[in-house]
Structure 1
Amino acid sequence: MRFENTGIENLTVELSHLDDLMESLGFVRASQWDYDRVTYDRKFEIKNDVYYLRVQGYAIEGDVGARYALIKLITPLLGKHYYPHGVEYGEGENFPSSLVNQCQTILSQVKEGLAKLQG
C-alpha cells in the first residue's frame, strides 16, 4: 500500500538528521542501505501477522556509506510479511484500518520532524 500525499515525498534531508529522526519514531535502518539508497522500516505485529511501514529515499548528493548524504524521500509503503517469501505491498493486500490510521499518524510525525529540521 502506498501512502500518497503525505507531504514527505520529494523532501530532502541530511542523512544523519534523518537517521536520528527516524530512530526516534521507532524506525530501523540497520543494513537496509547501499551507497545511494536508504530504507527505514517500522515493524508492527498484529495477532499472527507482521507488517512493515517503509520509508525510502535516495542520495542526491554524497554517499550513504561515507555517512554524509543528502537524501530525497519517496512515497512511503505499508507491506505485509509472508514467510519465507518476504514483504508484499500489492494492492490486493488487506490492511487493518487501525494499522493504516496508526501509520498515517506516524507519517505525520515524520513530516513534522522534517519541517523542524528544515527550519
Structure 2
Amino acid sequence: MKFENTGIEKFKADLNRLDEVMHNHGLIRAGQWDYERVTYDKKFEMREGVFYLRVQGYAIEGDVDTFKATIQLMTPLLGKYYYPHGVEYGEGENFPNSLVNQCKKILEDVKNEISKFAEQ
C-alpha cells in the first residue's frame, strides 16, 4: 500500500538529521542501505500478521556510507511480511484500519519534523 500525497516525497534532507527524526518515530535504517539508497522500517507485530511501514530514499548528493549525503525521500509504503518470501505491498493485501491510521499519524509527525530543516 502506498501512502500517496503525504508530502514526505517532496523532501530532500541531510542524512544524519533524517536518521535522528526517523529513529525518534521508530523507523530504523539499521543495515538497510547502500551507497545511494536508504530504507527506514517500523515493524508492527499484530494478530493479523507482521507489517512494515517503510520510507525509502536515495542520495542526490554525497554517499550514504560516509554519512554525508542529501536524501530525496520517496512515497512511503505499508507491506505485510510473508515467510519466507518477504514483504508484499500489493493492492490485494488487507491492512487493518487501526494500523493504517497509526501509520498515517507517524508519517504526519515525521513530515512535520522534517519540514523544519529539509528542502522541497
- Long gaps (5+) in structure 1: none
| SS class of match (2:9) | coil
Q: Which residue in the other structure is 1:55 paired with?
A: 55
Q: Which residue in the other structure is 2:92 paired with?
A: 92
Deviation at 1:47?
1.2
How many aligned positions are there?
A: 119
| SS class of match (1:34) | coil
Amino acid of the residue matched to residue 53 of structure 1? L
Q: Which residue in the other structure is 2:67 paired with?
A: 67
Give the whole-Å Cα distance in 2 for the aligned partners of 1:48 and 1:99.
Answer: 10
Q: Which residue in the other structure is 1:83 paired with?
A: 83
Give the whole-Å Cα distance in 1 for the aligned partners of 2:31 and 2:118.
Answer: 26
Deviation at 1:115?
1.3
| SS class of match (2:108) | helix
Deviation at 1:48?
5.2
Give the whole-Å Cα distance in 1 for the aligned partners of 2:24 and 2:32.
Answer: 17
**RMSD over aligned Cα, in angstroms?**
1.1
Structure 1 residues 43-79: Cα deviation after superposition (integer angstroms, max 9, x where no partner): 0011151000000000000000011100000100000
Tell me, yes or no, if the aligned pair for 2:41 and 2:53 is still in contact at 8 Å. yes
Give the whole-Å Cα distance in 2 for the aligned partners of 1:17 and 1:82.
Answer: 32
| SS class of match (2:107) | helix
Q: Which residue in the other structure is 1:112 paired with?
A: 112
Amino acid of the residue matched to residue 29 of structure 1? R
Tell me, yes or no, if the aligned pair for 2:14 and 2:118 is still in contact at 8 Å. no
Amino acid of the residue matched to residue 10 of structure 1? K
Give the whole-Å Cα distance in 2 for the aligned partners of 1:56 and 1:118.
Answer: 16
Tell me, yes or no, if the aligned pair for 2:11 and 2:115 is still in contact at 8 Å. no
Deviation at 1:23?
0.3
- Long gaps (5+) in structure 2: none
Q: Which residue in the other structure is 2:16 paired with?
A: 16
Compute the TM-score of the two structures, normalised by the length of structure 2.
0.96
Amino acid of the residue matched to residue 68 of structure 1? K
